[in-house]
Structure 1
Amino acid sequence: MVTVGVLALQGGFAEHLSLLKRAADHISTGRGQQPVVHLAEVRTPEQLAACDALILPGGESTTLSLVAVQSGLLEPLREFVKVSKKPVWGTCAGLILLCEEASATKRGGQELIGGLDVKVHRNHFGRQLQSFVQDVDLPFLSRGKTEKQAPFPAVFIRAPVVDQMLHRADSPGRAIEILAKYPSNGEGDDIVALRQGNVFGTSFHPELTDDVRIHVWWLDQVIKALHDN
């Protein structure tokens, strides 16, 4: 049994839990076995310690960071991601928290968890009213499959993008894998999905769609990583 937690301090954690349940059922049915995933809401260090993998949901990254500090979770989260190197996925605000640096932060900056050796630009696509849904090709969903996967309906809400790769001497051998890009307005393609070691991030909100494919893919990655270890 694999315990997958969703940080439940603020934001879209309920939506993630709903799609994770569907993804877990899909995996169990496909393998003809009993459920292999236990889902948990995470609000305390003790709940985090019981998890094998974790999702950081979308929401407001500054608020998530402040509540994590007040809950005594910030340092345990950093250890979970960067020392124990357990699988973790961040969506939108969660992606921001998983980056080593962030630009366009509020006055005084904000605490980050880190784990991705990149700098992220907050609210790259504008304000809440400028949110949109756009089909995005996600080649990583097609790996090991004979047919190309249909585009994913990516929901962008005040979404960040990675705008700089950082070269850190303390993380050798942890290559950054760019998994998806979104065409920008004549300024090159924006990185909207990436992975580095145990850390996966998406700029958009898969949990706000009815499409379970990324959750199935990530759970498969988690189960495989834990089995290999």
Structure 2
Amino acid sequence: MTASQPHTAPRKHIRVGVLALQGGFHEHLSLLHQAAQHLRSTADFSFIQVRTSDQLAACDALIIPGGESTTISLIAAQTDLLQNLRDFVKVQKKPTWGTCAGFILLSQRANATKKGGQELIGGLDVCVHRNHFGRQIESFEADLDLPFVPSPEKGEERRPFRGVFIRAPVVEEVLGGGEVEVLATLENRVDRMRAGQSQAQTRGGSGDIIAARQGNVLGMSFHPELTQDARIHQWWLSEVVARR
């Protein structure tokens, strides 16, 4: 290198996996591709479906999608993937994001499980309550004011994120020494509907905890993948880049 040649840091290449045992993995992959278009100046991304331990080992970060948490756990155990997922999250401490069922699996404890319980991955020091809002027919949507999502382009009005809640869990109890960061809460649904409100409170407000983070692990009760809004995926990818 001559004195006239500026030194440039090698460009980051980040491989993100989406656990593809069951659930909404295709939807997550679609939004990841959209989100990556906004981050082309920061890193090169590739995205893969993860069904084996070898595929998991090739990843720098992972999404565990919504679906049926018991089914995902059983398949992971049967394919010898479960322990490797625990190592990925809790030993290697690679960025991992779980939505709905994924949030349950990343929790340290879960209540209201099916008979016989279920195996969890862990990583978030919380106890969640499965199907907190009721059965599938009681699914609902709510406008969420999430300060961590990217700001709008110049001249655009900031808009809420439309959260889709389907048999969603919430955090019943934060465990351990307070390392869990509450990112969003939702007012009690019955009270909220009576008042005609649909806004989520954020960062430690009262209400049901619907998004939490601890170190490399992020959990959300709702389904960002069931929207066409890639802002949360964009934010999470930027967080992954920052950790590299």
**Is residue 26 from structure 1 mapped to residue 8 from structure 2 by the alignment?**
no
1:155-194 correspondence to structure 2 within 5 Å? 155-167=164-176, 175-184=179-188, 185-186=190-191, 188-194=206-212
Taking a change above 3 Å as real, the CA distance of residues 81 and 65 of structure 1, as seen in their structure-2 partners, is same
**Is residue 11 from structure 1 mapped to residue 29 from structure 2 by the alignment?**
no
Kept in 2, the 8 Å contact 1:162–1:192? The answer is yes
Taking a change above 3 Å as real, the CA distance of residues 175 and 149 of structure 1, as seen in their structure-2 partners, is farther
Shift of 1:149: 3.8
Q: Letter of the aligned partner of 1:182 in structure 2?
A: L
Equivalents in 1 of 2:226, 2:169: separation in Å? 16
Query: What do the CA deviations read for 1:156-215 (whole angstroms, capped 9, x no partner)?
Result: 0000000101126xxxxx711111111114595111111000001110000000111000
Equivalents in 1 of 2:157, 2:103: separation in Å? 26
Equivalents in 2 of 1:90, 1:220: separation in Å? 16
Equivalents in 1 of 2:88, 2:150: separation in Å? 29
Question: Among 127, 134, 137, which residue is 1:129 paired with?
Answer: 137
1:27-176 correspondence to structure 2 within 5 Å? 27-28=39-40, 31=41, 36-141=44-149, 149-167=158-176, 175-176=179-180
What's the secondary structure of 1:139's corresponding residue? coil
Equivalents in 1 of 2:179, 2:110: separation in Å? 20
Structure 2 spans left out of the alignment, 5+ residues: 1-12, 193-205
Q: Letter of the aligned partner of 1:129 in structure 2?
A: I
Figure out how many residues of one structure are paired with residues of the other and give that number.
217
Q: Letter of the aligned partner of 2:34 in structure 1?
A: R
Kept in 1, the 8 Å contact 2:150–2:231? The answer is no
Structure 1 spans left out of the alignment, 5+ residues: 169-173
Query: What do the CA deviations read for 1:56-101 (whole angstroms, capped 9, x no partner)?
Result: 0000000000000011100000000000000000000000000000
Equivalents in 1 of 2:176, 2:218: separation in Å? 18
Equivalents in 2 of 1:55, 1:6: separation in Å? 5
> After the TM superposition, which parts of structure 1 deviate over 3 Å for at least 4 consecutive aligned residues?
145-149, 185-188
Paired-residue identity, %: 61
CA RMSD of aligned residues (A): 2.0
What's the secondary structure of 2:89's corresponding residue? helix
The structure whose Rg is larger is 2
Aligned to 1:208: 226
